[in-house]
Amino acid sequence: MSKPNLENTILKSLNKAQHRAVTSEASTVAILAGPGSGKTHTLTSRVVWLIQHMGYRPSDVIVATFTIKAAREMKERIGKLLGEEVEKKIILGTFHSIARRYLSIYGRHIGLDSKFNIADDGDSKAIIQRICKRLDLKVEPSYAKAWISKKKAKGTPPVNAPKSQKNKQQEHPDLAKCFAEYQDHLERSNLVDFDDLLVKCVELLRKNPECVSNVQTVLIDEYQDTNGIQYELMKLFAQARERITIVGDPDQSIYGWRSAEVRNLYRLLREYPETEEVSLEENYRSSQYILDTSLQVIEEDKNRYKKILRPVHTKCTQPVLRSLGSTSTEGEWIVSEIKRLVMMFGGMLKNEDVAILLRSASLSRHIESSLGKAGVAYQMIGGKKFYERREIKILLDYLRAVHQPDNNDVIARIINVPRRGVGDVTIKSLLEEAEKAKMSLWSVLCKHCRGERRASTNIRANMEQRISSGLLNTIFTLRKKADATTEDGAVTLMDLVDSLLNQLSFKRYLELEYPEEHETRWANVQEFMNLVKDFMRDYSQMDTEELPEIEDVAQTKEDDILGKFLANVSLASDAQRGDADGDKSSMVTISTIHAAKGLEWPVVFVPSVYVGSIPHSRSEDIEEERRLLYVAMTRAQAMLYLSCPLYGPQGLSNKVELSNFVAPFAAKAFAARGPSIDKKVLESVARILSREAPPEKRVFDNLPSMFSPEDDTFPLSPVDPKNSDGTEENGDGHYARAPKRQRKDAEKHSSGNGDQPLFKPYSTTMEESSHFTMSSLPGFMTAGQHQSTLSTSLAAKENQPSGNKKVTKGSTKRDPNQKSLLGFVSKGAEAAGTGPLKANNIGSSSLGKQLPHGSRSQVSVSSGISGRQQPSLDPALAGHKLGGVKRPMRPPVANPGQDVAGKQYPCFSSSPPRQPSPEEPEPDSSKEASTFSRPATVFHSTTFTTAGPRLGVRRPVGMGPAPSLDRLRKPFKPLTMNRPKSR
Ligand SMILES: Nc1ncnc2c1ncn2[C@@H]1O[C@H](COP(=O)(O)OP(=O)(O)OP(=O)(O)O)[C@@H](O)[C@H]1O
């Protein structure tokens, strides 16, 4: 491939500050800036510049990202500029995937078997559960797991860290015991958990710096979310030449629950005093209105250091804060608004331009349900993982057992799948036998079923026979095949999976086990085969996993295709193939806010902006919640919608209040309903998105019959059904109309005589297709769920370092016009003494009070029954239970005298008291009744129609053939004539 013209392809796309960052010759460069300022763009350009201009070999460049998605996007961007060949050689990936690569190639230098397996979350949980039970430890397993993970994530405190940070905290002895046993178990099973990938890589690189002696430079994306161990790893990767570039934004630090440490910014600037600081001040993403409103949210954090962020775009439309009666109505409104936008923008905006960003999983059901009912396809980011579907997990467990039979948890999960008459009690006793004998379960099974130990009873002998002919035979046969795959490639991974399916008679198993849904599950298995096929195809071209040869440092060749496949699966947990089905251009995106980080969409909806949702009721850090909302809002390019129902998912018993993050300025900063789409709006959105605005005629001509061009299908200020006296009230003083009646589910479909429905709440061209099977909708793995296991009161009270309040650094270089980036962190340090912000300091203004134009015009009743949310990860040992003995209370808090005021960083000091236990699942609305009960009233005719679909839009006299979009609202007014007279 010919070398692209550097000047044209990269530098010309940069502004002055970006240019300076990209071409900086300083060893360490810190680019800290707000959202949408081009940080990722700048980092990518710098990678290209370093390779092309500085002449670094791609294989000597390490780029670490925070998510797999970010890694994939960066690969794509670099590939486009430098060509795939070069891009493949760059060591680019998440911290975990890079660490895995080093460990599988150099791990033996620290005594690690190169065939190690990765213990996923479920595995770790199951192992810890068993340890706690076996040793009768007085700790909750989930707490112990979070504690262990946090400990590993911390890394070593900085050399000059305050004493309190270094002092070994008084710990409950059972926690330490659990930790030691857990590590012992991992080692015996040749397992490495996610945290250990980093910990062991740190150990490797500390003891064997020659493994990274080739590395010229290290670049880190989303630096604000790195934790202690990742910081160490970054330094170790760069130890040969100490060339580091980081990009980050403290305002977007949203992974405190994963032990991310904002103070790493401070640490970097202190430890690398020659760092060149660059701040980017132009926001290229969002309209001025969106940016201003988002900044209002984040600026309420008084401990935050203010930085400049200037929009390059015009105002466009004011962000919307919509009040709805219930969460169900909220879902329906979102769908109707999406449809309105798609129509009114005449094809310039499509479903794929829309994202619905949720604070937590339990909020998704209503949105999904509304989209499903309306036949609007959607994809989920951060949804239930493809690999976690039951049938896929079984296949993966078998493959993992083939690869590494000493993994007890895997064997325990598949020993009775398909059913072999091995009950939970037997599995439990076998596991205990194995643990006591310090043997693997696999060895115990071999001993019982094939070796010297004979069964004492006939029943047991039968069972052992079934295990032997079923499980052991299958694994032995497949192991032979697997060896063939690595030796000469004569047998492929596909053959192996094929053979596994045959051995297990898997199709038959699914038919028997899941009579209702075996077809869907078998389709998933076929999709799994496609995945294997894709992996095989990529594998044959893969040389990306190699590291450059280094003199005198022996390498282990990674020729184990099965191992590599399994590692990929473990690491790619959010790279779901499930999302790849269907045409993405017609799909709305639903995502958790966490998973949306770094992404952007023309239109963003943030539903359920109420106290308890955001800030989340179980959050320990209010300011982190604020940053989450800020991240969500700043994903929007042209249009931003927030909404808040009167009642939460539990229905009338669950009245909610508008989030205090927006309440103080809601009336001024937000419009109460979606904007009118006129020519001016069309053009300004087109400018922001660099798209061509459609001709007005096209927009108008394509509007379906009786289509309402305004966001007026739902009342602006729903009447609280609890206080309603049933009378109409025009509260906003702008227009009066009869309250609209929203559909009842029962009447939505039919008039009762099999004819066309008599009443429809609104009509669009996208008639309901309802092809969605709600039962198959994936669930979510949310921050809340992670948080629930990670955050507990003991953990919250662990010592935070008080740190130096004044940053003393050497001679960092920066442009005279730019402020020191230390302000990002030192301001927080100064302000930390103000003490934590309390959740209950939140103002209590309700949405109704804050919104302008509040008219009480319609009754909207939600009826919901709260449920329980399913855990997103199955307990790892899904196949067997080790008993449900209630755990004793968690251990007493070890360090009650913590000096909160001494904390240096606001985001670590502002946690409100812990609320419910991390074990407590989030409420699930899965049982919510879907019925509405509304008083019958007349419909508003601009949006509700009884007319047939062919009536066409009536234009007023004198409109002419091509009406201006500016006037679109007026022409529709006469349609009120079509109001149904009576019902
Ligand atoms: N110099 C520039 N000129 C025009 N557009 C730019 C420039 N730099 C970045 N952009 C555009 O701005 C948008 C945001 O860029 P990018 O995603 O790199 O920002 P970011 O700072 O990483 O955002 P966030 O922190 O929110 O993830 C992208 O659409 C990008 O193409």
DSSP 363-398: GHHHHHHHHHHHT--EEEESBS-GGGSHHHHHHHHH
Residue to mutate (ligand 1; options 284, 628, 687, 690; most atoms within 8 A of CB): 284
Q: Which residues pair with 677 in a beta bridge?
A: none
Nearest CA to ligand 1 atom 5: 284
Is ipTM strictly over 0.95? yes
CA distance 881 to 901: 45
Top pLDDT among 170 and 195 is at: 195
The reported pLDDT for the residue numbered 787 is 37
Residues 827, 303 contacting (CB under 8 angstroms): yes
Question: How many A from CA of 39 to the centre of ligand 1?
Answer: 6
Determine the Cα–Cα distance for residues 292 and 289; give it in Å rounded to an integer.
5
Binding-site residue numbers are 33-40
Q: Specify which residues 383 forms β-bridges with.
A: 780
**Structure tokens that stand for 144 in this block:** 């112990």
Question: Is the pLDDT confidence value at 784 over 50?
Answer: no
Residue nearest (by alpha carbon) to ligand 1 atom 4: 284
Residue count of the chain: 983
- Greater confidence (980 vs 588) lies with 588
Task: Return the CA Rg of the chain.
Answer: 30
Alpha-carbon span 373 to 391, nearest angstrom: 28
Instruction: State the Cα–Cα distance between residues 312 and 307, nearest whole angstrom.
Output: 16
Summarize the confidence of residues 386-410 as an average pLDDT: 87
Average pLDDT over residues 509-513: 88
Minimum mean pLDDT among 202-216, 511-525, 543-557, 882-896: which range?
A: 882-896
Cα within 13 Å of Cα(322), Cβ side: 29
Indicate the range of 286-295, 318-327, 339-348, 572-581 predicted with least confidence: 572-581
Annotated binding-site residues for ATP read 33-40
Region of poorest pLDDT, from 485-494, 575-584, 938-947: 938-947
The b-or-e profile of 451-461 (16+ CB within 10 A means b, else e) is eeeeeeeeeee
User: Distance, CA 571 to ligand 1 centroid (Å)?
Assistant: 27
Asked if residue 35 has its Cβ within 6 Å of ligand 1, the reply is yes
Q: Average of pLDDT values for 266-276?
A: 86
- Nearest-CA neighbor of 229 among 149, 120, 156? 156
Task: Give the pLDDT confidence score for residue 98 in this predicted structure.
Answer: 94
Task: Mention every residue, 6+ apart, whose C-beta is less than 8 A from residue 542.
Answer: none
Q: Which residues, 6+ apart, have CB-to-CB distance to 349 below 8 Å?
A: 341, 342, 602, 603, 685
What is the whole-number distance in angstroms between the Cα of residue 284 and the centre of ligand 1?
6
Please check whether residue 787 is in contact with residue 257, taking contact to mean a CB–CB distance below 8 angstroms: yes
Per-residue model confidence (pLDDT) at position 261: 58
Is 40 near ligand 1, meaning CB less than 6 Å away?
A: yes
Please name the residue whose Cα sits nearest to atom 26 of ligand 1. 35
112-168 pLDDT, tens digit each: 888 888 888 778 888 888 888 888 888 888 788 888 888 877 765 544 544 444 444
- Looking at residue 397, its pLDDT comes to 93
Residue 279 confidence (pLDDT) above 50: yes
Q: Give helix 141-154 / helix 194-207 axis angle, nearest 10°.
A: 30
Interval between CA 760 and ligand 1 midpoint (Å): 43
Q: Which two tokens stand for residue 298?
A: 């984040």
pLDDT at 54 over 50: yes
At 851, list the tokens.
Answer: 């919104």
Q: Is the CB of 41 under 6 A from ligand 1?
A: yes
- Burial environment of residue 961 by CB neighbours within 10 A (0 to 12, 13 to 18, 19 or more): exposed
Over residues 202-214, the mean pLDDT reads 94
Q: Which tokens in the block code for residue 863? A: 């009826």
- 495 pLDDT higher than 80: yes
Closest alpha carbon to 382 in 560, 589, 601, 622: 589
The pLDDT of residue 206 is: 94
Backbone angles phi, psi at 161, to 5 degrees: -65, 155
Question: Residue 222 CA: which ligand 1 atom is closest?
Answer: 25
In three-state secondary structure terms, 904 is coil
Q: Pinpoint the alpha helices (H) of 406-517.
A: 408-414, 424-436, 441-450, 458-467, 473-487, 493-504, 506-513
Minimal-distance CA residue to ligand 1 atom 12 = 284
Residue type at 848 in one-letter notation: G
The listed range with the strongest mean pLDDT (414-423, 714-723, 738-747) is: 414-423
CB of 38 closer than 6 angstroms to any ligand 1 atom: yes
Cis peptide before 896 (omega within 30 of 0): no
- What token pair was written down for 495? 């053959």
Q: What is the pLDDT of residues 798-852, one digit of tens each?
A: 444 333 333 333 445 555 555 554 444 444 334 333 333 333 333 333 343 333 3
Q: Who's near 505: CB < 8 A, 6+ residues apart?
A: 418
Q: Which residue is listed with tokens 């949980």?
A: 125
Mark residue 752 as left, alpha or beta (left: phi above 0; alpha: psi -120 to 50; beta: remaining). Answer: left
Distance from C-alpha of 877 to C-alpha of 640, rounded to nearest angstrom? 43
The predicted structure's pLDDT at residue 217:
96
Q: Tell me which residue has tokens 């201009």.
A: 53
Q: Which residue has the higher pLDDT, 835 or 359?
A: 359
Cβ neighbours of residue 844 closer than 8 Å, sequence gap 6 or more: 657, 660
The model's confidence at residue 205, banded by pLDDT at 50, 70 and 90, is very high
Residue with tokens 């109409």: 728
**Model pLDDT for residues 451-485, shown as the tens digit of each residue:** 655 555 666 667 777 777 778 888 888 888 877 76
- Of the candidates 417, 390, 385, 411, the residue with the CA atom closest to the CA atom of residue 191: 411
Q: What is the pLDDT of residue 342?
A: 93
Residue 618 in this model has a pLDDT that exceeds 70: yes
Torsion 508-514-515-517 (CA) sign: negative
| Phi, psi torsion values for 874, nearest 5 degrees | -65, 145
pLDDT of 724: 54
Pairing of strands 276-278, 28-32: parallel
Most confident of 232-236, 551-555, 744-748: 232-236
Residue type present at position 962: A
Mean pLDDT calculated for residue range 515-541: 75
pLDDT score recorded for residue 948 = 33
pLDDT band at 540; cut points 50, 70, 90? low
> Does residue 388 carry a pLDDT above 80?
no
Question: Where residue 872 falls among pLDDT bands split at 50, 70, 90?
Answer: very low
What pLDDT shows up at residue 681?
A: 93
Predicted TM-score (pTM) of the model is: 0.62
Q: With a cut of 80, say whether residue 43 has pLDDT above it.
A: yes
Contact yes or no for 92/75 (Cβ under 8 A): yes
What pLDDT does 793 receive?
Answer: 35
Least confident of 379-393, 511-525, 872-886: 872-886
* Whole-number average pLDDT of the chain: 70
Task: Give the contacts of 64 (CB within 8 A, at least 6 positions apart).
Answer: 93, 94, 95, 98, 218, 219, 220, 221, 230, 233, 234, 237
Q: Please tell me the distance between residue 597's alpha carbon and the centre of ligand 1 in angstroms.
A: 13
Task: List strands edge to edge, sheet with 588-592.
Answer: 320-324, 636-645, 601-606, 354-358, 588-592, 378-381
Report in angstroms the alpha-carbon separations of 734 from 161, 711, 729: 61, 15, 12
**Least-confidence region, from 21-25, 322-326, 491-495, 915-919:** 915-919
Q: Are 355 and 635 in contact (CB under 8 A)?
A: yes
Instruction: Judge if the beta carbon of residue 248 lies within 6 A of ligand 1.
Output: no
More confident residue, 911 or 191: 191
Q: β-strands 923-924, 867-868: how paired? A: antiparallel
The whole-angstrom separation of Cα 91 and Cα 166 is 33
Sorted by sequence, the CB contacts under 8 Å of residue 564 that are 6+ apart come out as 539, 545, 558
Residue minimizing CA distance to atom 10 of ligand 1: 38
Residue 598, ligand 1, Cβ within 6 A = yes
H helix intervals, 189-308: 194-207, 228-237, 263-271, 288-299
CA distance 401 to 471: 10
Range with top average pLDDT, 247-261, 365-379, 458-472, 550-564: 365-379
Q: Is 14 in the pocket of ligand 1 (CB under 6 A)?
A: yes
Amino acid at site 372: G
Q: Using one digit for the tens of pLDDT, what is the confidence trace for 690-727? A: 999 998 888 888 888 778 889 988 988 787 766 654 43
Measured CA to CA, the distance from residue 970 to residue 566 in angstroms comes to: 61
The verdict on the CB of residue 709 being under 6 Å from ligand 1 is no
pLDDT at 131: 87
Q: From the alpha carbon of 18, which atom of ligand 1 is closest?
A: 1
Q: Which of 357, 320, 324, 333 is nearest to 613 (CA)?
A: 357
> According to the model, what pLDDT value does residue 327 have?
85
Instruction: Please work out whether the CB of residue 283 comes within 6 Å of at least one atom of ligand 1.
Output: no
The helix (H) or strand (E) run that includes residue 826 is: helix 823-831
Confidence (pLDDT) at 371: 84
Answer yes or no: is pLDDT of 610 > 80.
yes
3-state secondary structure of 82: helix
Does the Cβ of 15 fall within 6 Å of ligand 1? yes
Residue 347's pLDDT band (boundaries 50, 70, 90)? confident
The two tokens of residue 498 are 């094929």
